[in-house]
Amino acid sequence: MPFVKVYINKAKTDKNYKALTQGYEDAFYFSPNPNDKLKFADSCISASLKTNDNDLISRSYLGKGTIYYFNLKRYEPALDEYVKAYEYSKKGTDEYQKYKVIYHMGVVKSYLGYYNEALKHFEDCIQYFEPKTKGDLHPNTIFNNSKGYLNSLHQATICYRNLGNYKMADSLVQVGLNFTNKSKEFPLEQAYFTKCKGIFEYHQKNYDGAIHHLTTALPVLKKNNDFSWTSVADFYIGKSYLGLKKQEQAVQQFQKVDSIFQKHKFIVPELRENYELLIKH
């Protein structure tokens, strides 16, 4: 942050609004406090508007939306920012930026339960990102498009699972695992697919396999402070213990889910059953 502040001050002095946008973007990325992140994001938007660069403006609105979504778990304001980002992206020339916005809009729709609508977003993103994960491209371009591809695959599996199409969901999980197993660059994405594999195993009543995959994914999810998917993994480990008639271990897992909720005041809709089971117990 000390270096970022020097960069911001120089950009202000030079009235270089493109550089200033970059400085504020770095500032909200490196700030640990979510409220500070929001302040820097607002400054980033103000600076970007002075550039008249539609792609840059789109990126600044997307950044603020991501803070609402990932750091604060506030979905309505996140979607508001994503819609603004999408409108500017349509007037811009950066296709990568446009599909980043489409992806994030899909994520919010998926959380709200509009799985068919969200799936269309992710299928569009998969078609855009996948061809750019290989070939004679700059390594950074391949890396960024690979992340976009893997995250779109992961979100599509969630939609298919919630729509009851477990066969299609597992097929995409295997595609994701095959991709991430070839590289050590995507540990979080690999953990997402491993987590999905565990949930699939649970639905197939392979409870030992489910516990194995979910337990394997947990350390990476926790390391990345992804408490949302950590709570889902804990829940399905608990459900798997119930399937194995190990009620004591199951209840311990359900209590872990509750402790995450008590700390972060956030829970995904599919974890409602966690409380029904705890109340029943």
User: Do residues 269 and 214 share a domain?
Assistant: yes
pLDDT at position 140 is: 94
Q: Is residue 193 part of a domain?
A: no
Of 185, 220, 237, which residue is a domain's last?
A: 185
User: Do residues 16 and 78 share a domain?
Assistant: yes
Per the structure, the count of domains in the chain is 3
Q: Is residue 117 part of a domain?
A: yes
Q: Is residue 190 part of a domain?
A: no
Q: Is residue 195 part of a domain?
A: no
User: Do residues 161 and 240 share a domain?
Assistant: no
Largest interatomic CA distance in the chain = 68
CATH number at residue 39: 1.25.40
User: Do residues 260 and 223 share a domain?
Assistant: yes
CA dist., res. 196 & res. 88, Å (int):
34
From first to last of the 281 residues of the chain, give the pLDDT tens digit. 899 999 999 999 999 999 999 999 999 999 989 899 999 999 999 999 999 999 999 999 999 999 998 888 888 899 899 999 999 999 999 999 999 999 999 999 998 889 999 999 999 999 999 999 998 999 999 999 999 999 999 999 999 999 999 999 999 999 999 999 998 899 999 999 999 999 999 999 999 999 999 999 999 999 998 998 999 999 999 999 999 999 999 999 999 999 999 998 878 888 999 999 999 88
Q: Is residue 201 part of a domain?
A: no
Q: Is residue 192 part of a domain?
A: no
User: Do residues 179 and 229 share a domain?
Assistant: no
Of 39, 59, 93, which residue is a domain's last?
A: 93
User: Do residues 49 and 67 share a domain?
Assistant: yes
pLDDT at position 26 is: 96
User: Do residues 109 and 156 share a domain?
Assistant: yes
Domain housing 19: 1-93
DSSP string, 57-86: HHHHHHHHHHIIIIIS--HHHHHHHHHHHH
Burial category of 255 from C-beta neighbours within 10 Å (exposed 0-12, middle 13-18, buried 19 and up): middle
User: Do residues 65 and 114 share a domain?
Assistant: no
Under 8 Å between Cβ of 129 and 145? yes
pLDDT at position 264 is: 84
User: Do residues 101 and 176 share a domain?
Assistant: yes
User: Do residues 217 and 179 share a domain?
Assistant: no
Q: Is residue 180 part of a domain?
A: yes
User: Do residues 109 and 69 share a domain?
Assistant: no
Cα–Cα nearest to 126, from 90, 97, 94, 150: 150
Q: Is residue 33 part of a domain?
A: yes
Of 93, 110, 137, which residue is a domain's last?
A: 93
User: Do residues 10 and 63 share a domain?
Assistant: yes
pLDDT at position 73 is: 81
